[in-house]
A and B are shown apart, each in its own frame.
Chain A
Amino acid sequence: MELAKKVNIAGRLSKKKRAVQGKNEQLQTILIIFVILSFMVSLILPLSALFGQALYDREGNFAGLNNFVKYFSTPTLVTSLQHTAYISVMTMFISVGLAFMYAYSLTRTRMIGKSIFRYAALLPLFAPTMMHGIGLMYLFGNQGLITSGFFGFSPGWEIKLYGPIGIIIAETVYTFPQAFLIIYIALQHTDYRLYEAANTLGSGRLKQFLNITLPSAKYGIITSMFVVFTLSFTDYGAPKIVGGQYNVLATDIYKQVVGQQNLSMGATVGVLLMLPALVAFFVDHVSQKKQSMYITSKAMGYKIPGNKGRDLLAFLYCLLITCFIMLLFVAVGVAASVKIWPYNLGFTLDHFKFSSFSGDGLTAYKNSLIAAGITAFVGTIFTFIFAYSIEKIRKKRFLRKLGYLLSIIPLSVPGLVIGISYVFFFSKSELEILGLSVSNPFHFLYGTIAIIVIANILHFYSVAFVTATTALRKLDKEFELASESMGVPFYKTMFTVTIPMCLPAILEIAMFYFVNSMVTISAVVFLYSADFKLAAISIVNMDDAGNISSAAAMSVLIVLTNIVVRLLYEWAVLGLRKRNAEWQK
Chain B
Amino acid sequence: MKHYISKLLILGIIICLLAACGKESSLEGASGRNDDLSGELTVYTAIEEELIPEYTKSFEELYPNIKLNMVRDSTGIITAKLLSEGKNTKADVVWGLAASSLLALDQKDMLAGYTPKGSEKILTPYKDSEEPAKWVGNTAFMTGVVVNTVELEKMGLEVPKSYEDLLKPEYKDLIVMPHPASSGTGFLTVSAWLQMMEEDKGWKYMEDLHKNVASYTHSGSKPAKLAASGEFPIGISLVYSGVTQKQQGAPVEVILPEEGLGWEVEANALIKKDKDNQQLAKAFLDWAISDEVMKAYYNANGFSTMKNDFSKPDGFPSRVDEKMYKENSLDWAAKHRDAILEKWDSSFGKKAEPKE
Contact = CB atoms under 8 A, between A and B. Distances in A.
Nearest to B351: A245
Given A245-B214, A245-B352, A261-B80, 13 more contacts: A79-B353, A141-B231, A142-B232, A164-B354, A247-B349, A258-B81, A259-B77, A260-B80, A378-B20, A448-B23, A530-B71, A532-B25, A546-B221
B222 A76 contact: no
A549 to B, nearest CB: 9
CB-CB nearest 3 A-B residue pairs: A546-B225, A450-B21, A546-B222
| Interface-central residue, A20, A34, A76, A381, by most chain B CB under 10 Å | A76
A544 B218 contact: yes
A283 to B, nearest CB: 29
Contacts of A359: 49
B219 A545 contact: yes
B41 interface: no
A143 B23 contact: no
B214 A548 contact: no
Contacts of B231: 137, 141-143
Given A75-B350, A342-B230, A448-B24, A546 B80 contact: no
Interface string A327-364: 00000000000001111100000000001111100000
B137 interface: no
Interface string A441-458: 000010111100100000
Nearest to A243: B215
Nearest to B52: A357
Interface of B: 2-3, 6-7, 9-10, 13, 16-17, 20-25, 49-50, 52-53, 69-74, 76-77, 80-81, 83-84, 90, 150, 181-182, 213-219, 221-226, 228-232, 241, 248-251, 341, 345-346, 349-350, 352-354
B226 A546 contact: yes
Interface string A543-554: 011111000000
23 contacts: A23-B2, A23-B3, A26-B3, A86-B354, A137-B231, A143-B229, A245-B213, A245-B215, A245-B352, A246-B354, A261-B83, A340-B228, A343-B250, A385-B13, A448-B21, A448-B24, A450-B21, A489-B6, A530-B69, A530-B90, A545-B225, A546-B219, A546-B226
A157 B136 CA distance: 52
A343 B150 contact: yes
Nearest to B90: A530
Contacts of A300: none
B74 A30 contact: no
Interface in A72-89: 74-76, 79, 83, 86
A449 B21 contact: yes
Given A142-B230, A357-B49, A381-B16, A244 B72 contact: no
Nearest to B182: A259
Interface in A1-36: 20, 23, 26-27, 30-31, 34
Contacts of A245: 213-216, 352
B226 A450 contact: no
Contacts of B13: 381, 385
A358 B49 contact: yes
| Interface-central residue, B25, B76, B251, by most chain A CB under 10 Å | B25
A30 B10 contact: yes
A343 B17 contact: no
A149 interface: no
Contacts of A342: 229-230
A143 B232 CA distance: 9
A396 B63 CA distance: 62
A532 B20 CA distance: 14
A370 B10 CA distance: 24
Contacts of B10: 27, 30-31, 34
B354 to A, nearest CB: 6
A394 to B, nearest CB: 18
B249 A340 contact: yes
Contact of B349 (A76, A258, A259): A76
A445 B21 CA distance: 7
A255 interface: yes
A526 B232 CA distance: 30
Interface of A: 20, 23, 26-27, 30-31, 34, 74-76, 79, 83, 86, 137, 141-143, 162-164, 244-247, 255, 258-261, 340-344, 355-359, 374, 378, 381, 385, 445, 447-450, 453, 489, 491, 530-532, 541, 544-548
Nearest to B353: A79
B20 A449 contact: yes
A377 to B, nearest CB: 8
B102 to A, nearest CB: 17
Nearest to B81: A258
A30 B25 CA distance: 33
Nearest to B228: A340
A258 B84 CA distance: 9
B225 A547 contact: yes
A20 B230 CA distance: 74
A356 B350 CA distance: 35
Contacts of B24: 447-449
Contacts of A450: 17, 20-22
B232 A489 contact: no
B248 A162 contact: no
Contacts of A258: 77, 80-81
A519 B242 CA distance: 32
Contacts of A143: 229-231
A544 B73 CA distance: 10
A35 to B, nearest CB: 12
Contacts of A86: 354
Nearest to B222: A546
Nearest to B54: A357
A357 B80 contact: no
A546 B248 contact: no
A212 to B, nearest CB: 40
A260 B181 contact: yes
A38 B159 CA distance: 62
A448 B25 CA distance: 8
| Interface-central residue, B50, B52, B80, B352, by most chain A CB under 10 Å | B352
A167 B352 CA distance: 15
B23 A357 contact: no
Given A259-B77, A259-B181, A491-B9, A548 B225 contact: yes
A447 B26 CA distance: 12
Contacts of B213: 245
Nearest to B345: A76
Contacts of A31: 10
Contact of A546 (B22, B72, B150, B224): B224
A541 B182 CA distance: 13
Contacts of A27: 3, 6-7, 10
Given A244-B214, A385-B13, A544 B250 contact: no
Contacts of B214: 162, 244-245
Given A247-B349, A545-B221, A162 B215 contact: yes
Given A143-B230, A449-B21, A453-B20, A255 B181 contact: yes
B310 to A, nearest CB: 24
A376 B342 CA distance: 43
B350 A79 contact: yes
Contact of B215 (A26, A74, A244, A545): A244
Given A343-B251, A453-B20, A491 B6 contact: yes
A75 B350 CA distance: 6
Contacts of B221: 545-546
Contact of B17 (A75, A137, A261, A378): A378
Contacts of B83: 261
